[in-house]
């Protein structure tokens, strides 16, 4: 267990060692047990977390707000529209000022080409840890929850096969942050990672290269595939979700039109049958039901989406407890 994490930012898991991530998972499991048994664990009494949102949220806001309260602290929800950011407050000023008011700053900013840069500028100016609640490049807390869920359901991830697949959705052009963070972290844990997507829905080249490097170092594998059926065959973990083709085009209307060519990229019962009999279906939610995934799959016995969503609470509490 690592004990030197006080004050550390969590912007991407790539910037934490595997030992440090193992510590997060160990602490998250401990906090989950304590909550299940009703054992108080107010290790952050009188601490306050600023939660700055540029995008709407269901799970992220609720899990962070509940988590800091369960640790004995307080979460201050801040909608960016209610601030003076649009009137000139810079990222440096937010970091400098919020870093003096609060004990931690959590930010969700997913604008393509803007979000990660903004969070890093705040972090550079802040005297307290900055936590990335999702940006255009990374979604570290979702992926820590995913790792925790895989460990709970499948044991040691090493040698298991995960299909990180594109799926069609028409709600909006979603960020690349979930699939990118998935391929980065799961390769570090020795999994056989299949990145499955239509040609236009590539991920950022430097992220893909880092995932390949991680796989070589950890002893797993990393493969890019363009056939959803082939990607599912024999897999232990299925993680199909939608993302926009931001690397191909930044024009959202064009991305929508490209996506219409792949409406058959849906997770249904037939595709689930291609995987291992005990394969689990995962999704960060929300999913476009009966477009991205059928009701029969997401509500079926192989789906672990609600356990996965719950684990957001526990990994976030672990990181807050360790860093704030």
Residue-wise pLDDT tens digits, 64-87: 999 999 999 999 999 999 999 999
Which of the four pLDDT bands, split at 50, 70 and 90, describes residue 171? confident
Tell me how far apart the 2 most distant CA atoms of the chain are, in Å: 55
Range 21-26 average pLDDT: 98
Measure the CA dihedral 268/188/153/5, to 10°.
-130
Q: Kindly list the domain boundaries of the chain, sorted by start residue.
A: 13-139+311-323, 142-308
C-alpha 183/C-alpha 162 separation (Å) is 9
pLDDT of residue 43 exceeding 90, the answer is yes
Q: What is the model's pTM?
A: 0.97
pLDDT for 94-152, tens place per residue? 999 999 999 999 999 999 999 999 999 999 999 999 999 999 999 999 999 999 999 99
pLDDT of residue 172 exceeding 90, the answer is no
Q: Give the contacts of 230 (CB within 8 A, at least 6 positions apart).
A: 196
Conformational region of residue 168, where left means phi above 0, alpha means psi within -120 to 50, and beta covers everything else:
beta
Domain 13-139+311-323 and domain 142-308 have a common topology: yes
C-alpha 218/C-alpha 164 separation (Å) is 18
- Which alpha helices (DSSP H) does 155-244 contain, by range? 177-188, 205-218, 228-232
The CATH number that domain 142-308 falls under is 3.40.50.1370
pLDDT of residue 192 exceeding 90, the answer is yes
Q: How many CA atoms lie within 13 A of 73 on its CB side?
A: 21
Percent of the chain residues past pLDDT 90, beyond the cut = 98
3-state SS assignment for residue 145: helix
Closest by alpha carbon to 148, among 314, 321, 288?
314
Closest by alpha carbon to 103, among 317, 324, 320, 319?
324
Range 189-196 average pLDDT: 98
pLDDT for 221-232, tens place per residue? 999 999 999 999
C-alpha 194/C-alpha 177 separation (Å) is 16
CA distances from 97 to 104, 129, 320, 323 (A): 12, 13, 20, 19
In sequence order, the β-bridge partners of residue 130 are 105
pLDDT of residue 33 exceeding 90, the answer is yes
* 206: its two tokens: 């430097």
Task: Please check whether the domain covering 13-139+311-323 is classified as CATH 3.30.70.2740.
Answer: no
The pLDDT of residue 28 is: 98
CA distances from 268 to 117, 196, 251, 292, 296 (A): 37, 16, 30, 9, 7
- Of 29-33, 169-173, 301-305, 316-320, which gets the smallest average pLDDT? 169-173
pLDDT for 150-164, tens place per residue? 999 999 999 999 999
Looking at residue 75, the DSSP 8-state letter turns out to be E
3-state SS assignment for residue 161: strand
């Amino acid at each position: 267990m690592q004990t030197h994490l006080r004050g550390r930012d969590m912007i991407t898991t790539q910037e934490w060692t595997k030992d440090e991530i193992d510590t997060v998972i160990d602490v998250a499991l401990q906090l989950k047990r304590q909550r299940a048994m009703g054992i108080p664990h107010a290790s952050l009494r009188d601490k306050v977390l600023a939660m700055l949102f540029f995008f709407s949220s269901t799970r992220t806001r609720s899990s962070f707000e509940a988590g800091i309260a369960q640790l004995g602290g307080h979460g201050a929800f801040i909608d960016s529209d209610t601030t003076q950011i649009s009137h000139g407050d810079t990222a440096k000023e937010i970091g400098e000022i919020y870093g003096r008011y609060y004990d931690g700053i959590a930010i969700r900013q997913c604008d393509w080409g803007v979000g990660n840069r903004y969070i890093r500028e705040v972090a550079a100016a802040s005297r307290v840890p900055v936590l990335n609640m999702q940006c255009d490049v990374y979604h570290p807390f979702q992926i820590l929850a995913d790792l925790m869920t895989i460990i709970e359901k499948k044991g040691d991830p090493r040698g298991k096969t995960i299909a990180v697949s594109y799926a069609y959705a028409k709600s909006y052009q979603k960020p690349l942050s979930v699939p990118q963070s998935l391929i980065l972290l799961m390769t570090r844990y020795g999994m056989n990672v299949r990145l499955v997507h239509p040609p236009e829905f590539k991920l950022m080249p430097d992220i893909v290269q880092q995932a390949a490097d991680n796989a070589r170092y950890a002893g797993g594998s990393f493969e890019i595939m363009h056939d959803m059926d082939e990607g599912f065959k024999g897999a232990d973990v299925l993680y199909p979700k939608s993302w926009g083709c931001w690397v191909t085009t930044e024009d959202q209307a064009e991305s929508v039109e490209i996506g219409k060519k792949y409406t058959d990229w849906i997770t249904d019962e037939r595709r689930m049958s291609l995987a291992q009999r005990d394969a689990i279906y995962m999704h960060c939610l929300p999913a476009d039901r009966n477009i991205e995934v059928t009701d029969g799959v997401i509500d079926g016995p192989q789906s672990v989406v609600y356990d996965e969503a719950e684990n957001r609470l526990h990994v976030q509490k672990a990181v807050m407890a360790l860093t704030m």
